Structure 1
Amino acid sequence: MNSHPIEHWHQAEAHFRDQQLPRAHSLFAQLAKLPQWAGPAQLRLAQIASAQGKLREATLHILTAAASGEDDVMVLEAVATTLCQLGELEAFVQLLATPALSRTSDATVALTLGRLASQQALTEHALPLLRHAVQLGLDQPELHYLIGLNLLYQGELDEAGRHFEACLARAPLHAACHRQLARLTKARAGHHHVDRLRRTLSALGAEHVDAPPLHYALFKQLDDLDDTPAAWASLSFGMRLRRGQIHHDMEAERRSFDQLMRMPAPIPTGHSQPSADT
């Protein structure tokens, strides 16, 4: 390597940003041979391989990055994200246990890692990170929603409800939170969210992407209250809205299945393909 590593890195990053992936790959591969650059360089190599559809190669690179001893929190956050994208959850969990991440002083990083763990249904790893973000002073709607969601998974319904309410206090139109609250307990006279849901739907409008789940939540509440006609009207309307959001070509799907049905049956193992003369 003729130039200084930092210059080499900037050059590689420029190629990476410009989508000149072969050139970027060549430079990052050289940097990956240097111990102090192994973590970020292997991360970039994994991202390049993934973009090229080379998933096995991407997996090898990201596992190497995770095991490189890297201590830069931002690099480790990106490594953790890529591990999840590639389905390497065991390595992801091991990475979360490293002091650089488990004791991070960056609340946003703690939230990101907690979100990743939550998306993988790793509640026992998500909650400590999310609560750590709270301890670091973060007070965002998403943070309260994720804590509530993971508490719900653990059966802590009362505490989950408090965090969902904290989320809505900060983001009154948070549709997913409204839906979780509607499902949390059985609605009864004097203890329901029907009016709040209707106000939220009125504020968002029927064309909003979050209108369908809000209608599903309203259905649940009205059904609990035995207002069956209104419940089913809300569900039906919400499902029609959702169908309008989904671009599904039924004819194209039918053609695909017709083509599959016309394909020859697979040849059993150990049998040769019949020749044209037989």
Structure 2
Amino acid sequence: MSAAMLFVPGSDAGKLAKIPGLPGGALLLDLEDSVAWPRKAEARKLVAGALDQYGNSRVLWVRVNSFGSDLLFDDLDAMVRQGLAGINLPKVESAQQLQTVDWMLGALERRRGLEAGSVRLLATIETALGLQSAPEIARSSPRLDSLCFGAADYSRDVGLDWPPADGTLPLTVQQAKVTLVQVSAAAGLDAPHDGSSAEFRDLDRLELESRAACALGFGGKHAIHPVQVPVIEAAFAPTGRQLAWAREVMAAAQHHGEQEVGAFALHGVMVDAPVVARARQVLGRAALPDGV
């Protein structure tokens, strides 16, 4: 999954027309928070058109309206088509919600002649109940690639200001993020994706937020403006030092493996299977083959 996923408002025809030139490996066309209620139907038509026009050349996901809204079925019915990479379901609070959406997607895939399971899922955790149910949610659907975290809604749900006035992440929010990292790893999902930074002009703060999320074990972060994308991508990319370490570990592992040695010392530090696996992860994040 891309380190940066850029939101594009579904009701803004001008911004949707810029899809070919927008940065980032994946885009998230939005039918939810960025679309005013009276324009929901219009946004569906615009986003469906964008999927038809650009879906073969860009990786396009759609954030639909929540399970608790009256809009979800119409959203899914309009979006499931060629060109759709996947659905981002917001405000997920139970495994049953995701399983129901999985079933709906399967029915729509069959109706549209799409490959079964081809429409993937992202599930955003934005409430205390969703966090409490996260272990079950993470295992609820084979379509699920990753969990996402919505700090603004979560903070409001637990009675915290967002964004924090001093820029310091409250411990309650940090603990929620750590929980999602652990739950994702236990379920075999990709690392979770962090929510967007509302202060899009403050790129220094965005970099700090992104690096902090990466340090907690997140795999990426949403963006709400194109200028945020390169900052996020750089923050989640391995550093030159990490890459050099990973290459050295993989080269040494290959050498010792040929001699049928399991654990070995490298610069006075023991290297065994978990260390080699981590080196492989680092190289994978950089989209580099082992040993390069």
TM-score by length of 1: 0.26
TM-score by length of 2: 0.25
**Higher relative helix content:** 1
**Higher relative strand content:** 2
Q: Indicate the structure whose relative CO is greater, using CA pairs within 8 Å and at least 6 residues apart.
A: 2
